[in-house]
Structure 1
């Protein structure tokens, strides 16, 4: 058994970390002497070739969407920066749009991190820096004036600090059971406007179920439900609207369905026996390819539609898991299977995870993970927020991130001690957020020049959808 350190020892370790990683050093944007276009091209390698232009098209909408799709750039830049030495599986892509509400297995609506494609062992500072940079970039995109953005970032850092100090007083089991519910968010809201928005979000989430999605995505034909094509975002892999290319062998329906059946059986072995029993009560009706997000565009992602004997649906998403950008730039041990990496990281960081989380190996040795496509999931409509609501949302994101870090690391005492009780970390991270927002604009400009010159092809969803209209 490892030796148990006293609280005083752990606090001393947190303060000692400041010697080789001063809090003021967190202001530096890192190693930005690189070609952003080259790194993005490397990150696109191995994706579905016909969908890469759509990835770039979604990234080209604004500097904010570009930031969401370019996690590889920030990971590269942070690789040469100093850090406290406190490492554990971090989210890896903790920008403000990768938080949201979803239902626990007990049907309670909670707020938490909800995207773990980049999860991997790394310095906790990398997560909070990505989050703070996202506030600055999104704030500029929304037209919020600089002083108000500074207030948002500073408030968010202070929230993270204060929550971490609270979690430093919690036992291991208390941290494991800590959960950010919408009821607690309502109590913590600083304004009546914020409470009203949370209440509306609760109502919205209640209607976002598998059953409500069924008739929007599928049609009943001769007693079986079939997902309707809506290219480029949704299509059947072997159908006339497929964008996958002949070399993928998706057109050989029997072959790829056979391989998928084998992969599905392997997935079932990664979930609990009661979940296998539950899934066994559903029959598979259809499978389609679904394009999701910004950064994930071009990776293989399927939707499987199951229906039980009562005609009630279950949508499972099968998403490709590639090497994390964090793992590329921070050397640490982790699961060799990329799907297992995502699932293990999500279970560790989230307060309550999807009942159907699991992983498998698919055709051509690609790694995948499974989760529900939608289960009362809701995300923030940031563009509609005013500066007051935006500041409140920033506080909640920081609360959720602090909870995740405290649970996953077991080092809330050390992190809290490193942070201290003053403004030094908030000042440094506010400077960092603005510096990285400026760097993101430079990278976006370089990216757009590459698109305009033809070096990169960028196409919008509407443009690609027009290819399929008669």
Structure 2
């Protein structure tokens, strides 16, 4: 199904307005989120999960019926893409076992696994496109000094990586059918030369007890000792101090959810892409009588974040009764199932008539940027393929944990994937081209907005109805 350019622009503006509360074409400054999304198609995908599900529901992304309708539903990430996998310490900041796994559950719900699989495949194609654009100067990145000296994967490389991802996913499902206990395995070791080897070693060094824990862990980078007190660092653009009344209200509301005293708290600014405009706080949690460096390992950062409904559910409201749970409650339930060893601080709250997530910030959390896995001096396609294989295995394990009573889900996926993989990879590669076009549309909308805001400009475009 195709759309006219005007209809597509209207859908983009309407969906961004519905979820973000801001129309990118209105006569006002664009939101930080929309400006980030306009920079490249990979970021557009990250910030527009709701559009992805609108396109599935309306037939613009056609997924094989054998994968959409045949396998049992399971718990899904909802916003699955190459940058939503990474290393973290199990049990949040209370553990020291480093694993590679999905690391974002804000859009988690019950649904068909092919939603996650397809979104990941689209992101693979866009990762390759984005990195090719870095090399030839069409896109910019703060992560790479001189991308022109590196090589990027071709569209064919991305397609091969997609098939490797699906093969790893299918094999993992098949192994779980033979031995259901395997669903509780995790990817916890990578050889030095693997594309993830460097990031894995970095995460291990940052875990509690690691040699970089006191200097480069999540905790160490966020806090400092000031006159014997542990406090958040002064980081303009990242942290903002709250006035006394607001700080006390946050402390009073969320103290019951954490496992120790709240030593300090700040408002977190500008985090993420899909959730950049949601309010969130960081709580510094530790012993009431903090005794100095020897108590650092007893402290951790807890994130308190506003939660909105999972992206798939506006377009698929009736796919499972479980999804009628309050949004933060649903997120927590799904995360607890999908993780092998969930965060010990992982809860939901209603405060100021709004759902909030309460969860640990992992000491050794190490995210993966597209530039890390798809730019290389040579053979970038080989790197991308190895990364995709790791993600396929990790995602299959997370999906398999959604039902721990049987292996019906794993058996169905192992059966259906071989005959439908080619069609799925092709459909997702074609949809990636749609995302590239949509990112250009958003960029054009914002440029017209800039022109309309200038003194010589005429009237601004009309806001679409929500």
TM-score (normalised: structure 2): 0.76
The alignment status of 1:297 with 2:276, answered yes or no, reads: yes
- Where do 5+ consecutive residues of structure 1 fail to align? 1-27, 187-191, 239-252, 269-278, 459-470
The alignment status of 1:306 with 2:303, answered yes or no, reads: no
Residue of structure 1 equivalent to 2:80: 94
Distance 2:256 2:124 in 1: 40
Distance 1:321 1:329 in 2: 18
Residue of structure 2 equivalent to 1:60: 38
Conserved in 2, the CA contact under 8 Å of 1:60 and 1:66?
A: yes
Conserved in 2, the CA contact under 8 Å of 1:219 and 1:227?
A: yes
Residue of structure 2 equivalent to 1:322: 308
Distance 2:369 2:413 in 1: 34
Conserved in 2, the CA contact under 8 Å of 1:97 and 1:379?
A: yes
Conserved in 2, the CA contact under 8 Å of 1:132 and 1:430?
A: yes
Match of 1:169 among 144, 153, 178: 178
Distance 1:457 1:101 in 2: 44
Distance 1:234 1:454 in 2: 29
The alignment status of 1:430 with 2:406, answered yes or no, reads: no
Distance 2:29 2:415 in 1: 46
Residue of structure 2 equivalent to 1:75: 53
Q: CA deviation at 1:72?
A: 0.9
Residue of structure 1 equivalent to 2:202: 203
Distance 1:315 1:292 in 2: 15
Could you say if the C-alpha distance between residues 204 and 400 of structure 1 is closer, same or farther in structure 2, counting changes exceeding 3 Å? closer
Q: CA deviation at 1:421?
A: 7.2
Q: CA deviation at 1:70?
A: 1.0
Could you say if the C-alpha distance between residues 326 and 139 of structure 1 is closer, same or farther in structure 2, counting changes exceeding 3 Å? same
Residue of structure 2 equivalent to 1:194: 194
SS state at 1:39 partner: helix
Match of 1:261 among 227, 251, 263: 251
Q: CA RMSD in A?
A: 3.1
Q: CA deviation at 1:65?
A: 1.1
Residue of structure 2 equivalent to 1:464: none
Conserved in 2, the CA contact under 8 Å of 1:182 and 1:202?
A: no
What whole-Å deviation, never above 9, does each CA across 1:232-267 have from its counterpart, x for those lacking one?
A: 3321233xxxxxxxxxxxxxx32x334323421453
TM-score (normalised: structure 1): 0.75
Deviant stretches of 4+, over 4 Å:
28-34, 208-211, 455-458
The alignment status of 1:372 with 2:360, answered yes or no, reads: yes
- Where do 5+ consecutive residues of structure 2 fail to align? 60-64, 133-152, 374-379, 454-466
The alignment status of 1:336 with 2:322, answered yes or no, reads: no
Residue of structure 2 equivalent to 1:445: 440
Distance 1:113 1:200 in 2: 15
SS state at 2:74 partner: strand
Residue of structure 1 equivalent to 2:108: 119
